[in-house]
Amino acid sequence: MPLGDSATILVPVDVTADDRPARPLVDLCRSVDVVLLGYYPVPDQLAPAQLKQDHETDAQATLEETADRFRDNGIDVTDILVFTHDREDTIDRVANEYDCDAVLVLSETEHIEQILAPIRGDTNLERIVSLLEALMQTSDASATFFHSVAEDSDPSHGEFLVRGAADRLAEAGIDRDRIDWQLSEEESPHDEIVELGQAYDLLVLGETKPSLRDRILGAVPTRIVDEVDRPAFIVRDVE
Amino acid sequence: MSEEAGQLERNLGFLEAMTLGGGTMIGAGIFILPGLAAEGAGPASSISFVIAGVVALLAAVSLSELATGMPIAGGSYHYVNRALGGLFGSIVGWGMWSGLMFASAFYMIGFGQYIVVPLPFLDGRVLVVLLGLIGLGLITGINFYGTDESSGAQNLMIGAELVVVLAYVALGVFFIEPGNLQDFAPTGPSGVLATTGIVFVTYLGFEIIATVAGEIEEPGRLIPLTMILSVVLVTILYAAIMIISTGVVPYQELGDSFVPVSEVASITMLGVIGVAAVTIAAAIAAISSSNSSVLAASRVIYAMGRDGLMSERLNVTHDRFATPHRAIMATGGVTGLLILVGLQVQEIVALLAQVASFSFLVTYGLVHIAVVVFRRADPDVYEPDFEIPAALYPAVPVLGVVMTFVIISQMELQVILVGFGVVIFGVVWYVVYVGGQAIETGLIDDAFEDPVQAAIAKLPITSNVPETVEPYRVVVPVANPETQRELLRLAAATARAHADEGTPELIAINIIEVDPSTERNIASERLEHQRTLLANARDIAAEMHVDLRTSAITAEQAGEAILDVIEEETADQTLLGWSGTLDREEHAFSSTIDPVVKQAPCDVSLVEIQQPSIGTPVALAGPGPHSPVAARRAVDFATVDETIPTLLNVQPPNNDGDITPTERGTAAIRWVAERAGLAPDEYESEVIIARDAESAILDAVEEYDTVCVGLSEQRDISRILFGSIAERISQEATGNVGIIRGTKRLDQSGIDDPLALVDDPETIFAQK
């Protein structure tokens, strides 16, 4: 299912921190519906009901304030406040419940001119491209597809992949000048994306199926986002 | 606007619940208990574990039903408090909290022993206690600062521990010497039962699953599954460990050891390597079990604070870490003191284990009773996804209570004394701190009222039975401290005025409306407010020398709750405060008042208090169906200031018949007064002649302090509305306004529709 104008983006914000979406990110969301998830992290020691009892009003106010930033831009916002022991768990549940196409991870940014979209294979590619299309139509940003070629595979396959993605974006009506692609044969795609990411303003990543390793160490996109410190859309794998 | 209030996430899945419950159970106890158990019952101590497991299983079954019926923080405490009321809630709350602290102290002393004993250069009790305190300090500290994302570490720890325990069992089988098992039960059945009391502390873990019931995914399935499964698995594991331990090392030797599992492991698990593995596992186990206990303790304290049984100050969360740091420090502090007692009392380990067992046995006994109460009372909020199968009910709760008594009876005297000390402390705390006023009245009355009533209903009805004199009861819901005095004064006046119909009795109720979706989390200020209100009501009643009972209620819908009380008490009247505003949309008055006005099987007075003096009341003696009752009420209210009320009637000035307007008005008043059963000297009459009846009435009533108006039902019977006069008075009058609705005792009038009475007031008045 391609994304597009009807895309729903989940934006999780920590209501205890000053997690406000930066202006350029709000602008980017003009073409999509937003589900704003305000989460209140509850430590293990505490029954969530206790924090809810003490802080619900404040938390709700903070969330409303954030929601208004989107609404002032004419963006359709559903806001949800959740008291949770586990942020990831809640994001997953709400994303499923509201059928969200991608999760926007907030980070400070002043402008969005360069978008990096690392792609691993065909999985999710369609959806990553159509989200990019939606984002690029509401902004002047340019996008770079990135693929890291596995050591023992044919580099031409990787080129085929990124070229194809770029072509599809062009076919959708995005100016060819705004689209670029890059291949790499370095050993660790993870480190490379982190390094490369510093030069970009926004990342668009595909969700990975949780492997056993991910379950223990945290999913790859989450780690990349943590390390790059740039806002990122994580496109969900709903197949 | 947000579409819904904050949600509470359920984050605990099967694995998390199992590690929380099972992890606590196979934790510290497994390394310390074998010595104590072997000393008490020899190889037959495996039977002790099985008996304890059966008792725990019974409790797990009952608790599962309750926990799926109301999954909310607090576990056993919460269910007992709801079912049996605040007194038992206090006993169980304190019992659980102290039980968890005794258990933690037990784990930490064991922790000290496991580290001190195997290391040749360490020695001495002081060191054991010191290490225990250090371990406890570590746990308290971690919990103080919050343990975000620590569940992964917890799982790894429990996994490592489990590997050691399973290796211990698997390797141990090959080293059993049948000779050691010959003298299977050296202390006989009573020794086995007494040992059950010591080892029961093991089965504290599944209770922890119930205390976090509100956080478990798919509670209907996972709560019973994890509780029952963890009890069964742990029972099997412990029984196997006992057989192996006593099979490898003679029980006498095992009983003398502080580190029984190490003793066995040094034989079966390659000597030093086994000892090292066991020592590390025991240390990990002690930490993780104590940690779970502190977590559970803070939830129990929270639940008690929520219900007003504990100072809410203990539940304050830390500004930065968001942890309930005071509750954690209090738990850590008392546990530390218990560990320190170990310096003086040699048998402290067994004692701590047994007191913890005692507290939880009492708790589970009450949980069994609670499940019976819930089944019988069957409140609306209680719809368990898991029910005790029909074939096992009431066998499970009954057997559970019996077993509890049997095990407690076999405990050592000093344990029973300390245990009962905790129970008595709970009682004293309830009386002193809560003031003996039931915060949560419990469902026990509901549960056992029905059979009695049914028995009465079955009694043969004979005319010879003298009719018992029912008191004349007035139900007064109080909510606003500013007007409750006047409301109670009016209620007392009406009740006294009807003294010939029965002893006057007031019932003051306060209702806290709870949203069912928030699962009864009642902010403590609201409970505080409720307590103050009802306490003031009692003071006011005492000043007025009138019998008053109070009742604190939490309900989803205040109106329904008031109706319930009216019906239960077979009240004769109810008197409600009213803000004086009308709701034009969904309701006539408000969502609380409307159901009462529509359905209450007794007289209803809505009173808008605008000034403290009742003074001389006036009643509109007009053609409404409730005018006579309004007149009656005006007479009742007048007794407050010992005045004579006025009955007011307005007539148009046209004079086209034989009778003058004044005569007509007087006749109408007399008709109303007769209907109200008033003697001519009980009221004054006032007839106003005016074209515009409404403004004339409004002007006239300005003179009076209190106005009584009968509720009009003329416009729309299905949705009781005001007549325009009553409505305008309620809006514009500056005095107190009473809107009165009489009892629809239709059998008395013989007329179904009250409107039929006033079809044509002219003709009725003309007849008079």
Q: What is the pLDDT of residues B505-533, one digit of tens each?
A: 888 888 877 765 544 445 556 777 777 88
Segment A63-75 mean pLDDT: 88
* Contact assignment for B2 to A54 by CB distance below 8 Å: no
Better-scored residue on pLDDT, B576 or A124: B576
How far apart are the CA of A215 and the nearest CA of chain B, in angstroms? Answer: 10
* Contact assignment for B521 to A42 by CB distance below 8 Å: no
Average pLDDT, chain A: 82
Residue of B1, B3, B7 to mutate, testing the A interface (most A Cβ within 10 Å of its Cβ): B7
* Contact assignment for B9 to A90 by CB distance below 8 Å: yes
B307 backbone φψ class: left, alpha, beta (φ>0; ψ -120 to 50) = alpha
How far apart are the CA of B14 and the nearest CA of chain A, in angstroms? Answer: 14
- Cα–Cα distance for residue pair B335/B683, rounded to 1 Å: 72
Residues of chain B with pLDDT under 70: 1-5, 120-123, 147-152, 346, 436-442, 444-470, 515-525, 582-587, 655-657, 712-726, 744-768
* Contact assignment for A53 to B521 by CB distance below 8 Å: yes
- Cα–Cα distance for residue pair B37/B255, rounded to 1 Å: 7
Residue B104 is predicted with a pLDDT of: 92
- Does residue B65 sit in helix, strand or coil? helix
* Contact assignment for B147 to A45 by CB distance below 8 Å: yes
* Contact assignment for B152 to A216 by CB distance below 8 Å: yes
Contacts of B306 in chain A (CB under 8 A): 49-50, 53
Residue B2 is predicted with a pLDDT of: 37
Three-class SS of B517-575: HHCCCCCHHHHHHHHHHHHHHHHHHHHHCCCEEEEEEEECCHHHHHHHHHHHCCCCEEE
pLDDT (tens digit, 9 = 90+) per residue, A194-236? 888 888 888 888 877 665 555 555 566 777 777 778 888 888 8
Residue A110 above 70 pLDDT? yes
Residue of A34, A50, A58, A68 to mutate, testing the B interface (most B Cβ within 10 Å of its Cβ): A50
- Cα–Cα distance for residue pair A235/A237, rounded to 1 Å: 7
Alpha carbon B162 to its chain's center: 38
Residue B401 is predicted with a pLDDT of: 95
What percentage of chain A has pLDDT greater than the value 90? Answer: 3
Contacts of B323 in chain A (CB under 8 A): 43, 45-46
Question: Two tokens at B688?
Answer: 């106003």
The answer for residues whose C-beta is within 8 angstroms of residue B517's C-beta and 6 or more apart is B5
Looking at the partner chain, which of B214, B299, B322 has a beta carbon nearest the beta carbon of A51?
A: B322
Interface residues on B facing A, Cβ-Cβ cutoff 8 A? 2-9, 11-12, 72-74, 143, 146-148, 150-152, 212, 214-215, 294-295, 298-299, 302-303, 306, 315, 317, 321-324, 328, 518-519, 521, 523
Contacts of A45 in chain B (CB under 8 A): 143, 146-147, 294-295, 298, 323-324, 328
* Contact assignment for A52 to B302 by CB distance below 8 Å: no
- Cα–Cα distance for residue pair A185/B560, rounded to 1 Å: 72
Confidence of residue A239 (pLDDT cuts 50, 70, 90): low
Element (H, E) at B223: helix B219-248
* Contact assignment for A86 to B9 by CB distance below 8 Å: yes
Half-sphere exposure of B454 (CA within 13 A, CB side): 6
Residue B98 is predicted with a pLDDT of: 94
Q: How far is CA B51 from CA B54, B399, B411, B603, in A?
A: 5, 12, 15, 59
Looking at the partner chain, which of A45, A49, A85 has a beta carbon nearest the beta carbon of B521?
A: A49
Q: Chain B residue with minimal CA distance to A17? A: B320
* Contact assignment for A82 to B148 by CB distance below 8 Å: no
Contacts of B8 in chain A (CB under 8 A): 48-49, 52, 82-84
Length of chain B measured in residues: 768
Distinct helix (H) and strand (E) counts, chain B: 29, 11
Contacts of A35 in chain B (CB under 8 A): none
* Contact assignment for B298 to A45 by CB distance below 8 Å: yes
Question: Two tokens at B252?
Answer: 């006498």
The vertex-A49 CA angle with A45 and A54, nearest 5°, equals 95
* Contact assignment for B215 to A48 by CB distance below 8 Å: yes
Q: Which of B617, B362, B359, B571 minimizes the C-alpha distance to B475?
A: B571
- Tokens 């919990």 sit on residue: B143
Residue B524 is predicted with a pLDDT of: 58
Looking at the partner chain, which of B9, B12, B323 has a beta carbon nearest the beta carbon of A46?
A: B323
pTM above 0.90, yes or no: no
* Contact assignment for A64 to B11 by CB distance below 8 Å: no
Neighbour-count burial of B371, counting CB atoms closer than 10 A to its CB (0-12 exposed, 13-18 middle, 19+ buried): buried
Size of interface A-B (CB pairs under 8 A): 112
The full set of domains in chain B, from first to last, is 14-435 (1.20.1740.10), 610-714+722-746 (3.40.50.620)
Segment A53-75 mean pLDDT: 87
The vertex-B442 CA angle with B438 and B446, nearest 5°, equals 125
Q: Chain A residue with minimal CA distance to B305? A: A50
* Contact assignment for B212 to A47 by CB distance below 8 Å: yes
Q: How far is CA B302 from CA A50, B46, B72, B306, B524, in A?
A: 7, 37, 11, 6, 11
Alpha carbon B317 to its chain's center: 23
- Cα–Cα distance for residue pair B195/B42, rounded to 1 Å: 10
Residue A213 is predicted with a pLDDT of: 55
* Contact assignment for B322 to A42 by CB distance below 8 Å: yes
